[in-house]
Amino acid sequence: MRRLVFFLFVELLSSLSFFPLFLSGLSFCSKAGAEESPKFAWMISSFSTPAGVAVDGSGNIYVADYNDNCVNNCVQKFSPHGDLMNTWGSSGTGDGQFSSPSSIAVDASGNIYVIDSGNHRIQKFSSDGKFMTKWGSFGSADGQFSCPVGIAVDGSGNVYVTDADSFVQKFTSTGEFIIKWGSRGTGNGQFFTPSGIAVDRSGNVYVVDSGNNRIQKFDPDGTFMTKWGTKGAIPGQFSCPVGIAVDDNGNIYVADGFNHRIQEFSPDKSFITQWGSEGPGNGQFYLPDEIAVDNRGSIYVTENVQHRLQKFIYAGINNGEDGGSVDKGSGGGSSGGGCFVTAVAHIFSL
């Protein structure tokens, strides 16, 4: 699978001596009222290859699903309890069609933004899947994409997109270009295969700098603020991190790929907790990919290699789910291999 190739390739390059890594002022703390890690609640399994996940204000869950053989190039919508509500999309280049949809985001009005990786564009839909607009094409100019990877929307509706060509672009909600920042490297504000992106309530932007095994934080205009992380397996270290999310309290969650775990940090980047280990069981992961947090503090993690979405809840702040071993089944798709338009070919061309 190409997504697995992405993990392996980034892991290889990040291990080379000419990619220095950083650990910036990391400290440790416990989370008030929830010192223990969140507990497994339920899963949705048998997707084709689930990638992006997002949750709207009502708790509805959106998953971007794709497949090498173009069996599944769609978005699936689920209720807060994991019941399938809607599916839209097919393989192609037309409006509402996709080629390897990857990351997905939801704005405050419930509109859905999908990275259509293979078509090098962003598509916007209403909450019931009706096409609204699109923007982007292949290239390196402002508003174009080489390999779009991650997407996030701030409280004002501005859209942020990471590109494996080592930059971030910011757009209005209708796709008008605002600003771009980043270049390839290891310095502050530089990236090596950036992936996940998230925005907190203050408009600060967090970018997963996968190849440099770190998280970078920027203000809404792209000015560098801080960073943390280095390659490794202890708390606060990463091995090919991919997805990132921020909850309403400003806590940051990172899908730590080759460490097969989720790490949580406070707004001041202090380590809070971690959970997960390598495996197919409930609460285990194999290369966790994207992550989302709803407004009740529930956490959702996709694993495209294991074709599933897992939900986790903190005791005392959950929605009544008991953390039992429940498989909700699937909203569609085969269990075959998946695809992902990665940075690999582009990196080799640099």
CB-based contact 321:308 (threshold 8 Å):
no
- Here the tokens at position 90 are 């097919």
pTM for this prediction? 0.86
Give me the tens of pLDDT residue by residue for the chain, a chain 350 residues long.
445 545 555 555 555 443 333 334 444 444 444 458 999 999 999 799 999 999 999 999 999 998 755 467 999 999 999 999 999 999 999 999 999 999 999 999 999 999 999 999 999 999 999 999 999 999 999 999 999 999 999 999 999 999 999 999 999 999 999 999 999 999 999 999 999 999 999 999 999 999 999 999 999 999 999 999 999 999 999 999 999 999 999 999 999 999 999 999 999 999 999 999 999 999 999 999 999 999 999 999 999 999 999 999 998 665 556 544 456 654 333 223 332 333 333 333 33
- Here the tokens at position 321 are 């789910």
How many C-beta atoms surround the C-beta of residue 142 within 10 A? 11
**190 φ/ψ sector (left φ>0, alpha ψ -120 to 50, else beta):** beta
What pLDDT was estimated at residue 319?
A: 55
Q: Alpha-carbon distance 173 to 111, whole Å?
A: 10
Chain mean position to CA 342: 14
CB-based contact 295:57 (threshold 8 Å):
yes
Residue 348's H or E segment, with its range, is helix 344-349
In the chain, % helix, strand, coil (3-state, to 5) comes to 10, 40, 55
Q: Of 71, 175, 52, 172, whose CA–CA distance to 123 is shortest? A: 175
What pLDDT was estimated at residue 328?
A: 60
- Here the tokens at position 111 are 């509109």
What pLDDT was estimated at residue 265?
A: 98
Torsion of CA 242, 262, 72, 150, to 10 degrees: -30
Give the burial class of 151: count Cβ atoms within 10 A of its Cβ; 0-12 exposed, 13-18 middle, 19 or more buried: buried
Chain mean position to CA 239: 15
What pLDDT was estimated at residue 278?
A: 97
Give exposure, 170-182, as e/b (b: 16+ Cβ within 10 Å). bbebebeebebbb
What pLDDT was estimated at residue 317?
A: 63
Q: How far is CA 230 from CA 22, 24, 161, 164, in A?
A: 5, 9, 24, 20
Torsion of CA 149, 250, 321, 48, to 10 degrees: 0
CB-based contact 147:346 (threshold 8 Å):
yes
Render 143-198 in DSSP notation, one character per residue: T-BSSEEEEEE-TT--EEEEETTTEEEEE-TT--EEEEE--BSSSTT-BSSEEEEE
CB-based contact 98:63 (threshold 8 Å):
no
Contacts of 152 (CB under 8 A, 6+ apart): 105, 159, 160, 197, 198, 199, 205
- Here the tokens at position 23 are 């650990």
